[in-house]
Structure 1
């Protein structure tokens, strides 16, 4: 594919024939990214544990529901075999799945929460990336996109467990970029700041709806899942020689992790 053809393809928003695997697709940024790519013509394998949510997404968008726990090797291997058997290729792997648990300081850290965050954000991302790398290399123009967080770039009080997991995911992403450049695999890191989604803060705060809403209280227009999905899609739809490398995204009201403007 020539540069001109790639540029034209991006500008028309038509990516029929391209295959993407999107993890975390049952909610939030992952779901929004799957929707955005389907709207542009991609064949999208929507990956998450909750099959019923994936089925609903499939009915609405035509995405392929692919229930899978990315922390289980056998399930990841079965997913890879399914995609390659049905499509014979994969063009982009978007690792959106992840999450946070708790806001404990190190002195009060929950070993269970820390282990869960590392397992999902780091080892889960490693497992599915490892599984699909041979196909992405074989594609000739494969892309891996890892969704990290502003927490991967700046530590904050009460965030150490999530910081540690996301810093590790960021380090893995940077190493992967060095390792895969010779195979022409493009590696992208997207690091959002404050994003108001249905479940992130709710899950982090143990299901406390009031506490979850307080995270966004008074913030004029925090980012939405669709905002971040647009950037993720833009990154993988650019001509392949263009690598956005590392992109941080914050709402204007979030000048820095420690400075958020709130009305009143």
Structure 2
């Protein structure tokens, strides 16, 4: 099953896949839409064994006191509430069938703060803690939970963050080699193909050109 807000992209992806696909045009920020779409899935898609919560975004890099509150709400609604809505609808079926795997796409921003990261980093800290608590609740079942925390990955992320400014987005990755979507997909594939008794809790991954910065100290 492929979900997203842009049907044309979903159809293009479905055309490339070697297996039958079910497309759901869906904005995960809408709880009624999520509940309606996912509570009445057609066969043979009704028994979901794998959920990849990949919907998420960052908006803006202004400091907290000048940031756009609408941007903050959009990030919270997508990165936190959307993930919760989808998980809550599909998780009971996994527990009932005693099989399944929830993979949440987090970020190293959950652990390493940076100026302008404010609410984006906070939403990813939520993803981390929610994933950990899901694992605690599911002990004794055959439902696994994995959080993948990427560092810099060159996708449309920065274009969205800078609201269409492609040049500014390009400079984020200038002079270094970022991770690619294929790198992250390969890691997810590794996690979900481990033996049923193996659960990878958290996978943190960065490009070789990214590391840890010094503490932010203002000199006067």
TM-score (norm 1): 0.77
What residue in structure 2 maps to residue 234 of structure 1? 190
**Secondary structure of 2:139's match?**
helix
**Secondary structure of 1:108's match?**
coil
- Name whichever structure is richer in helix by fraction: 1
Equivalent residue in structure 2 for 1:213, among 142, 153, 170: 170
Task: Give unmatched runs, 5+ long, in structure 1.
Answer: 1-44, 260-264
Task: Give unmatched runs, 5+ long, in structure 2.
Answer: 216-220
2: distance between equivalents of 1:160 and 1:228?
24
State whether structure 2 residue 104 is matched by structure 1 residue 146: yes
* Root-mean-square deviation over aligned CA pairs: 1.6
What residue in structure 1 maps to residue 125 of structure 2? 167
State the Cα deviation string for residues 20-47 of structure 1 (Å, max 9, x = none).
xxxxxxxxxxxxxxxxxxxxxxxxx111
The structural deviation recorded for 1:75 is 1.8
Which runs of structure 1 show a deviation greater than 4 angstroms over 4 or more consecutive aligned residues? none
Deviating more after overlay: 247-256 vs 117-126: 247-256
**Secondary structure of 1:53's match?**
helix
Equivalent residue in structure 2 for 1:86, among 16, 27, 44: 44
**Secondary structure of 1:174's match?**
helix
Label 1:75 to 1:231 Cα distance change in 2 as closer, same or farther (>3 A): same
The structural deviation recorded for 1:243 is 0.8
Label 1:109 to 1:136 Cα distance change in 2 as closer, same or farther (>3 A): same
What residue in structure 2 maps to residue 24 of structure 1? none
The structural deviation recorded for 1:89 is 1.2
Map 1:15-94 onto structure 2 (within 5 A): 45-61=1-17, 62=19, 63-83=21-41, 85-94=43-52
2: distance between equivalents of 1:224 and 1:78?
33
TM-score (norm 2): 0.91
Deviating more after overlay: 134-143 vs 185-194: 134-143
Matched positions, count? 213
State whether structure 2 residue 199 is matched by structure 1 residue 243: yes
